Amino acid sequence: MKQYKRSFRFVCNEQERKIIEEMLLLQGFTWDNEDFFSYSCRLIDEPFSLGSSLACFFGFIYIQDRASMLPPVALMPEKGSFVLDMCASPGSKTGQLAQIVGENGFVMGNEVSPQRLATLRRNLQQMGLFQTASCCFEGQHIALPSGYCDFIQLDPPCSGWGTIEKNPKVMEMWKDDKTIPLVKLQKELLKNAERLLKPNGVIVYSTCTTNIEENEEQVRFAIEELGLELEKLPELHEFVMDTPLLGIDGVWRLSPRIGDTQGFFVARLRKKNNGEIYEVNPHNWGEILSAKYVEELGIDTKYLMYGDIAVFKESIHFVPNQAKNIPENFAWQGMYMGKVGKSKEIQLNPRVRMAGNLPIIHFEGKDGLEKIKGLLSGQSFNCEYKEKNVLMAWNGLILGRLKVKNKRLIWSER
């Protein structure tokens, strides 16, 4: 069989994964599992673009270069932790970190570009990661208090020399002194990351370049100028690692390898046990929906143990419990869940999978997949449901919500 370079990770629990694996197999995909991150896989057979698969459409898998999965593996925050992803879009590492910290954790993804921020938010919502939120600041000026963060992921703008297979002209674009502004920005981002860390907090600094000025020299800057301590990363036998430069040991340096992986650099740094600790002051955000109303919307109230569902002007968002500690003057947004109509009626997005007390229409096997594909392409089915919405499931796994209109079932994201 031909071995493809493309990698992906599952975005689901173990029970859900078995069902999604069956879904992928029925659509003709095969893969190998990887050990360095238990959710990571490498494709073997790809009969059509994996991005067009139903598993990808419903957010149960995420396509990501395997080297790009290394920074969250290096950071590996504890369950329930708060993590700041300083340069987050499109959300690859944000989503991976959300899986690691779990439903009781909280990951804030920051992105300075409004266009890329929209992509970040869309991807997090598609994956159903309600333990995430997003904000829009220059990373070097994120207005959180000093000593606020337990863990920080910093994957700053870089020259991208490690992506040469995808971008053949990248080294020509970023040669000689053209990288000077990037190096300066990376230093500013590192300075702010050090300020934001709590004493004993951890930052992972990573790039997709092989440029020493953006890699080992930045680590040396973090050690010598910012007082951070380098923590040695373990060996990873699944990757061919290069020898680090400048005598800096314990980092991961990968050169791009055609058909295998892109180039990457990863370093783990810890703040010494000194500095400020932000004193939290919990408060509520938005107009919180009551448990009774949440239940009427067809959402299982068990999700309220992880946070609140609240109205912000004309949209509905999830507010993780840890988000209630965010200072009141800091602008951010929780995972989008729906909108408020002209009649003040709440209309949930069909991708909200938090299954509650609603009828469920079940699809099974390969025939069921074909029917789901039909719904997604605009087809509708007869039904006798009196409710305005019903849950859609395949082999027992909830995929989303269908509207009931004129006794017809339809999929609509409008």
- Tell me how far CA of residue 316 lies from CA of 306, 339, 341, 347, in angstroms: 16, 5, 11, 9
Does the annotation count 208 as an active-site position?
Answer: yes
Task: Give all strands of the β-sheet with 40-45 in edge-to-edge order.
Answer: 30-33, 40-45, 7-10, 61-63
Closest among 333, 337, 341 to 303, alpha carbons compared = 337
Q: Which residues fall within 8 angstroms of residue 282, CB to CB, at 6 or more apart?
A: 324, 325
Count of other CB atoms within 10 angstroms of residue 187: 17
Token reading at 335 = 């995972």
d(CA 334, CA 317): 5
Q: Choosing from 12, 149, 158, 208, which is the catalytic residue?
A: 208
At residue 60, the 3 state secondary structure works out as: coil
**Residue 268 DSSP code:** E
How would you classify residue 167: left for phi > 0, otherwise alpha for psi between -120 and 50, otherwise beta?
Answer: beta
**Residue 86 DSSP code:** S
E strand or H helix that includes residue 366: helix 365-376
How would you classify residue 227: left for phi > 0, otherwise alpha for psi between -120 and 50, otherwise beta?
Answer: left
Residues in the chain: 414
For residue 83, the cross-strand partners are 107, 151
Q: How far is CA 285 from the centre of its chain?
A: 23
Which amino acid type is present at position 332?
A: W
Closest among 410, 359, 357 to 386, alpha carbons compared = 359
For residue 266, the cross-strand partners are 206, 252
At residue 200, the 3 state secondary structure works out as: strand
Catalytic residues: 208
